[in-house]
Structure formats: structure tokens, C-alpha cells
């Protein structure tokens, strides 16, 4: 969608041309200056309808009014934002998402959106609104042939505070983040048979070429040379070759920090011989969400060009069954040298990550490593479907990620890495098992990964099994892939440059 910005001047609202004009309503300022100007031009109809329908600016309340030619906009949409003091950055993003959905629902092609005056800085407000609008219009419709549900809303003018700095640059950067997030969503939503490891790598290669990121990949031969036996074991029953993708962003000037991102890219997780139930398997095309987020972050970083050296890895593999499948009870040597007894072939993500983490740390020698994975159902049991588990060996990194998350409406909750539970990963015949018992499943998975983190490396593990997808359309999220953590990690990395 095309987004432009303009300074918000209340007196100009009646002459603002649009198919729909959106106005924020604050609970404690229900008759604010924007509303009173419009209400006067509309002969009091806004006030009366608001009173009739008991609209007082509560969060999420909306009211659509036809203007019958009394002002230049054909329709006015009022959207409640709650109390002024409670409006934060993500409140603005949700407001814009709600506006986009309603506007598109009433087939408004061009819209004008007044942005709220709150404690949130005007530039941040503009950025969040631009993101919310475009993300709110996302839909995965490429396989619909009958009712294509094409987006109607094609252009928006954001009416923002006069203090917004470099508005065009702000809009361009928002557009880059949105594009990256929507590609991540598309990849998560794409069926597993049309998004194999090779195809996922292909998408990364095209995006890298377009944005000037350095791209390289490893196939089974290179993996064997690198002794990535855990990754290869997971992949063994699949007819699809695995890929490890490496994407590199190198800053023009001297780098302040070197950060490695590693994403779990299971394009399909059948569970392997420890086969999932039909219900459990149904959603498992989304098991490459971590890798999709890594690609999204790399795209968005390329567009922002911070002074940080960032390298993204995607471990792209399919976990299948068949005569060649790796088996429960197998003992496999990891790239790092530790032998692993396979207690469950469905705990495959940590095996793939272990080998990629070990390779990435040796090759890049980074200060910070962040991995992302739809790793455990247990994390969803612990935190619910919308919050990510955050594990870290460093308080500052944990704090920085969760602050960036709050600003972006992405919730991370810190979980403990209690060493006591390492006991559960002990094996009598190998250095370690790949599963614990049924308690603390998200923690034992994180403790398994921790064994592959080198001393001195600052590390965080994000278990995104829940928030990588949304069960329904919500604010600026659509049912299906969310592109979770693309925005948060972009913000975190920019703060390091
Ligand atoms: N990919 C799954 C985790 C998952 C579950 C992601 C639901 C998204 C939604 C992972 O590979 C897995 O199967 N984990 C097992 C681990 C167990 C065997 C120790 C699980 O969570 O049940
Ligand atoms: Zn699994
Ligand atoms: Zn998995």
C-alpha cells in the first residue's frame, strides 16, 4: 500500500478528501479538538450517535458514520484508544491495524488517518501507525481462486504531529520492516510441499540478492565434511536435501558489535519415528518460523544499515519417516563432539540447532548469539499461545530483548535455565540425551542448547512455538504466520549500532 504523511491540522479535517477518515477517540478526552471540529461540520451527528451507541473511547470501540457529502470524506471512522496516559507505541500500531481492517471491510480505497496525540513521540507514532496499517492489510490469498479477497485499501495519508522528524525516511523504514515481516508470514503460511528446505533457501537467496546481503548455503556434502551428524540424522528419511543458509550484513563503517542469529527451519516436522498424532502434525508446516524470522530480520537490517555486523543462519531440514529414518535409541555424535542418545525423534529442532550453533560460533566468533525456534509445545503450556519463552545467559541481553519486545507488542517472558534440571538430560551410554521427562520441557530444551554455546558468548534462546502463529485475526495480526520477532530483533539490533 502507498502511505504518505501530512501534518495534522484540526481545522482542515472537514476538507480532507478520502473514502474514509479515521479519528482516534481517547476515553478521557471524548470530545477532543478533532471530534468537535468534525462534529460541527456534520451538524452534531457524531456526538448524537456516540451518545446513542455509548461510544466513549474505550479501547477497541469503533463507530462508522456516513457523512452524506457534508464534509469531503465519505465516511468517518471513530476508534477508541482508551485513556491518553495508557496509549503506548503498540497501542498506536493496534489502532492503525483496526483502522486498516475496517476501512478495507467497507471497501475504502483511499483513507486518511489522524494519529493520536499521546505521550508517545510523534516520530515513533508515525512509524508504528505505518506498520500497523500495512500489517493489518496482510492476507495470505495466493491459493484462493474463487473469492480472492483482494485488499481494496490501497493508499493512506497519515495525519501526524508536526514534531515528526524526517517523515519520509520514517515511512520508508516502516515499509522495509513490513515487507520483511510479510515475507516471513508468507513463508510460515506456505504449505510444506511447496516450501521444502531447498525452496526456503531459494527464497532467502532471492531476498538477499535484492537487498545486497551476502548469501551462501551448505548442502549435504558440506554438512558431512563439517561433521553435522545431528542435523543429517534428522534429515535422513526425507527425500528433500537439507540446507544451511548463511546471510551476512556487513556495515559500511566499523562495526560496533558482531551478532549471529540462528533459526530453526524445519519445513515439516512429522515427529519422525516418534510420529506425531494427526492433530499434532497438522500445523507442522510452521516449524520453520524461526528461520523465517531470521530471514525477515536480515532483510530489515539491510534496509536500516546499522553499524552492526549481523550474520543470520537458517537450519532448513525436513523431519520424516521411512526406512532410512534415524531411530529412538540411536547415538549420534554432534559437530561439537558430544555424543547424543536419541530419546525422542520429535525433539529434532534442538539437534539441528546444536550443529548450526556450533558451526556458526566457530566460523564467526560473535559476541552475541540469538537463536529462535518453534522448539517445544511445553513452552506454550507454560506461557500460553501469544508469549515467547526467553532464555539467556546474560541479564542485559534478556532485558534489551524484552524491552524491544514491549515496544513492539511482542511479549517475551524470561524463563530460568536451572542447572539442576540438567540431570534429566543424562544418559548412561552417551554424553547426553536429547529429551528430559515431561516436566519443564521448554527448560530442558534450552539447557540442551546451552551445552553448545561457547564460553564467553552472550546468548539468548527464544522459544516462539506459540506466538509464531496466531489462532485468529487480531489487531494487525492475521490468522496464521505472524512474523513474530522480526520487529523486536530489528529494534534490538539497531540499538546496538
Ligand atoms: N516443533 C515441535 C514443537 C511445536 C509444538 C511447535 C507445537 C509448534 C507448535 C517440536 O519439534 C517438538 O515436537 N517438540 C516436542 C518435544 C518433546 C518430544 C520432548 C514437544 O514439544 O512435544
Ligand atoms: Zn518435533
Ligand atoms: Zn519441531
Q: What is the 3 state secondary structure string of the chain?
A: CEEEEEECCHHHHHHCCECEEEEEEEHHHCCCHHHHHHHHHCCCHHHHHHHHCCCCCCCCCEEEEECCCCCCECEEEEEEEECHHHCCHHHHHHHHHHHHHHHHHCCCCEEEEECCCCCCCHHHHHHHHHHHHHHHCCCCCCCCCCCCCCCCCCEEEEEECCCCCCHHHHHHHHHHHHHHHHHHHHHHHCCCCCCCHHHHHHHHHHHHHHHCCEEEEECHHHHHHCCCHHHHHHHCCCCCCCEEEEEEECCCCCCCCEEEEEEEEEEEECCCCCCCCHHHHHCHHHHHHHHHHHHHHHHHHHHHCCCCEEEEEEEEEEECCCCCCCCCCCEEECCCCCEEECCCCCCCHHHHHHHHHHHHHHHHCCCEEEEEECCCHHHHHHHCCCEEEEEECCHHHHHHHHHHHHHCCCEEEECCCCHHHHHHHCCCCCCEECCCCCCCHHHHHHHHHHCCCCCCCEEEEEECCCCCEECCCECCECCEECCCCHHHHHHHHHHHC
Task: Find out whether the beta carbon of 442 lies less than 6 Å from any atom of ligand 1.
Answer: no
pLDDT band at 247 (very low <50, low <70, confident <90, very high): very high
Q: If you take atom 7 of ligand 1, which residue's CA is the nearest one? A: 377
Q: What is the mean pLDDT of residues 185-205?
A: 98
Give the tens place of pLDDT for each residue, 321-342: 999 999 999 999 999 999 999 9
pLDDT in tens, 420-432: 999 999 999 999 9
For residue 468 and ligand 1, the question of a CB distance below 6 A is answered with: no
Q: What pTM did the predictor assign?
A: 0.98
Mutation pick for ligand 1 pocket among 263, 346, 434, 442 (CB with most ligand atoms within 8 Å): 346
Q: Is the pLDDT of residue 30 over 70?
A: no
The pLDDT-based confidence of 201 (bands split at 50, 70, 90) is very high
Question: Is pLDDT of 12 > 90?
Answer: yes
What's the gap in Å between 229 CA and the centre of ligand 2? 17
- Residues 292-312 have a mean pLDDT of 98
Average pLDDT over residues 52-65: 93
| pLDDT at position 303 over 70 | yes
Residue 29 pLDDT = 83
The whole-number pLDDT of residue 32 equals: 85
Provide the annotated active-site residues: 276, 350
Domain boundaries defined on the chain: 2-163, 176-496
The CATH number of the domain covering residues in 176-496: 3.40.630.10
Q: Is the CB of 441 under 6 A from ligand 1?
A: yes
**Is ligand 1 within 6 A of the CB of residue 343?**
no
pLDDT at 149 (0 to 100): 86
Separation of CA 347 and ligand 2 centre (Å): 5
Question: Does residue 397 carry a pLDDT above 90?
Answer: yes
Question: Fold match between 2-163 and 176-496?
Answer: no
In this model, does residue 31 exceed pLDDT 80?
no
* pLDDT tier at 28, thresholds 50, 70, 90: confident
Under CATH, which architecture does the 2-163 domain have? 3-Layer(aba) Sandwich (3.40)
> Mean pLDDT across the chain, nearest whole number?
97
Amino acid at each position: 500500500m502507498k502511505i504518505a504523511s501530512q501534518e495534522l491540522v484540526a481545522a482542515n479535517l472537514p476538507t480532507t478528501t478520502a473514502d474514509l477518515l479515521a479519528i482516534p477517540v481517547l476515553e478521557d478526552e471524548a470530545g477532543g479538538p478533532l471530534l468537535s471540529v468534525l462534529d460541527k461540520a456534520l451538524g452534531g451527528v457524531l456526538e448524537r450517535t456516540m451518545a446513542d451507541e455509548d461510544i466513549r473511547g474505550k479501547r477497541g470501540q469503533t463507530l462508522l458514520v456516513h457523512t452524506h457529502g457534508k464534509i469531503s470524506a465519505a465516511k468517518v471512522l471513530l476508534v477508541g484508544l482508551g485513556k491518553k496516559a495508557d496509549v503506548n507505541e503498540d497501542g498506536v500500531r493496534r489502532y492503525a491495524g483496526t483502522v486498516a481492517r475496517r476501512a478495507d471491510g467497507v471497501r475504502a480505497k483511499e483513507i486518511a488517518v489522524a494519529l493520536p496525540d499521546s505521550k508517545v513521540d510523534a516520530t515513533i507514532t508515525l512509524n508504528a501507525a505505518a506498520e500497523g496499517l500495512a500489517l493489518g492489510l496482510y492476507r495470505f490469498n495466493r491459493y484462493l481462486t474463487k473469492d480472492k479477497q483482494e485488499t481494496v485499501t490501497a493508499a493512506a495519508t497519515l495525519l501526524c504531529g508536526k514534531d515528526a522528524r524526517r517523515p519520509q525516511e520514517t515511512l520508508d523504514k516502516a515499509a522495509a520492516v513490513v515487507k520483511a515481516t510479510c515475507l516471513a508470514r508468507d513463508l510460515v503460511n506456505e504449505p510444506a510441499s511447496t516450501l521444502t528446505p531447498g525452496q526456503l533457501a531459494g527464497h532467502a537467496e532471492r531476498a538477499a540478492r535484492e537487498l545486497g546481503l551476502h548469501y551462501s548455503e551448505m548442502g549435504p556434502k558440506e554438512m558431512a565434511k563439517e561433521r553435522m551428524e545431528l542435523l543429517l540424522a534428522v534429515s535422513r528419511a526425507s527425500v528433500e536435501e537439507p540446507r544451511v543458509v548463511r546471510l551476512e550484513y556487513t556495515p559500511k563503517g566499523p562495526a560496533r558489535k558482531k551478532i549471529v542469529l540462528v533459526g530453526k527451519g524445519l519445513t515439516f516436522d512429522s515427529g519422525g519415528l516418534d510420529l506425531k498424532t494427526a492433530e499434532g502434525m497438522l500445523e507442522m508446516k510452521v516449524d520453520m518460523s524461526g528461520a523465517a524470522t531470521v530471514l525477515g530480520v536480515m532483510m530489515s537490517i539491510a534496509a536500516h544499515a546499522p553499524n552492526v555486523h549481523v550474520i543470520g543462519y537458517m537450519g532448513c531440514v525436513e523431519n520424516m519417516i521411512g526406512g532410512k529414518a534415524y531411530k529412538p535409541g540411536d547415538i549420534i555424535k554432534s559437530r561439537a563432539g558430544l555424543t547424543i542418545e536419541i530419546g525422542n525423534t520429535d525433539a529434532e529442532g534442538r539437534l539441528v540447532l546444536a550443529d548450526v550453533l556450533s558451526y556458526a560460533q566457530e566460523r564467526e566468533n560473535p559476541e552475541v548469539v540469538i537463536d529462535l525456534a518453534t522448539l517445544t509445545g511445553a513452552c506454550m503450556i507454560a506461557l500460553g499461545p501469544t508469549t515467547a519463552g526467553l532464555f539467556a545467559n546474560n541479564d542485559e541481553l534478556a532485558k534489551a530483548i524484552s524491552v524491544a519486545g514491549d515496544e513492539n507488542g511482542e511479549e517475551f517472558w524470561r524463563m530460568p535455565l536451572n542447572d539442576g534440571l540438567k540431570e534429566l538430560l543424562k544418559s548412561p551410554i552417551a554424553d547426553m540425551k536429547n529429551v528430559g521427562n515431561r516436566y519443564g520441557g521448554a527448560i530442558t530444551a534450552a539447557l540442551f542448547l546451552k551445552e553448545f554455546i561457547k564460553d564467553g558468548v552472550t546468548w539468548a534462546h527464544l522459544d516462539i512455538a506459540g506466538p509464531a502463529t496466531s489462532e485468529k485475526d487480531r489487531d494487525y495480526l492475521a490468522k496464521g504466520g505472524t512474523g513474530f520477532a522480526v520487529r523486536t530483533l530489528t529494534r534490538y539490533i539497531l540499538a546496538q549500532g
